[in-house]
Amino acid sequence: MIIAIDGPAAAGKGTLSQLLAERLDLAWLETGSLYRAVALRMLRDGSDLRDSRTAVKAVEHLDANDLNDPELRREDVGQAASRIAANPEVRAALVGFQRDFARQPPGRVRGAVLDGRDIGTIVCPDADYKIFITATPEARARRRFLELQEDGNQGDEQQVLATTLERDARDSERSTSPLRPADDAYLLDTTNLSIDAAFAALMAYISGSSDCILG
Ligand code: DC
């Protein structure tokens, strides 16, 4: 079983993907962490984010430790990831890994859930379930602002909203694999939903699909 989940930043797709993975016994790949890991490496090396050769080299040198680096969650790393994600060579270099993960997930699992921006449209267009999770920019900025506060960071909610809108625009307007729902995606707006309610809606969608085998 392959579940493809897409949507803008802070819509809830990470939390919901993880819950689905646990409930349905699936491996989970947060594909944003791949773009973030490339961006973090380039920031640390002081590389020019527009330099395709260096970015593709960074992809080739990625390893499992890079994907677990706590610094990946930094706000500036998210912005840098969004910039390098507009580069078609970087996307091409990362797509194979994502498809391999979907086809042959690690461990004894029943399949995989991948979340990102182009999973239902480009990475796994034949996924069994395609879901697009969204929420208003204000709701997403508020969540991100509260997360930053919880992590002990000072923040300004208006500033978080501005960077959220900037990232949305860049991710949606790029010419290669822009953020958009697949034509046959199930759309879920989490603006006024708790995580429990959103998860229940997804489970209802998945169990309502005739070819789904739920344990
Ligand atoms: O999901 P995230 O916020 O960790 O992703 C960081 C950036 O990576 C996001 O702004 C755009 C890019 N990204 C992408 O272009 N395609 C994906 N499948 C996942 C992330």
| Structure tokens belonging to residue 101 | 């993960």
Convert the pLDDT of each residue in 172-209 to its tens digit.
999 999 999 999 999 999 999 999 999 999 999 999 86
Would you say residue 107 lies in a domain?
yes
Q: What's the rounded mean pLDDT across residues 61-88?
A: 94
Domain hosting 104: range is 2-200
> In this model, does residue 89 exceed pLDDT 70?
yes
Over 70: is that where the pLDDT of 215 sits? no
For residue 83, how far is its CA from the centre of ligand 1 (angstroms)? 10
Can you give the pLDDT at residue 148?
Answer: 86
**166 within some domain:** yes
Q: What is the pLDDT of residue 212?
A: 42
Q: What is the CATH number of the domain that holds 17?
A: 3.40.50.300
Is residue 72 included in any domain, yes or no? yes
In a domain, 186, yes or no: yes
Indicate which residue's Cα is closest to atom 2 of ligand 1.
Answer: 32
pLDDT tens-digit readout, 122-178: 999 999 999 999 999 999 999 999 988 888 887 899 999 999 999 999 999 999 999
214 falls within a domain = no
Residue with tokens 């949305």: 168
Q: What number is the average pLDDT over the span 15-43?
A: 98
Q: Rounded to a whole number, what is the distance in angstroms from the first to the last CA of the chain?
A: 12
128 within domain boundaries: yes
pTM for this one?
A: 0.94
Residue 133 lies in a domain: yes
Tell whether 206 is covered by a domain: no
Domains contained in the chain, number = 1
Residue found under tokens 């969004």: 82
Atom 5, ligand 1: residue with shortest CA distance = 32
Residue of the CA atom closest to atom 11 of ligand 1: 82
Query: For residues 99 and 124, is the Cβ–Cβ distance under 8 A?
Result: yes
How far apart (Å, rounded) are the C-alpha atoms in residues 137 and 26?
30
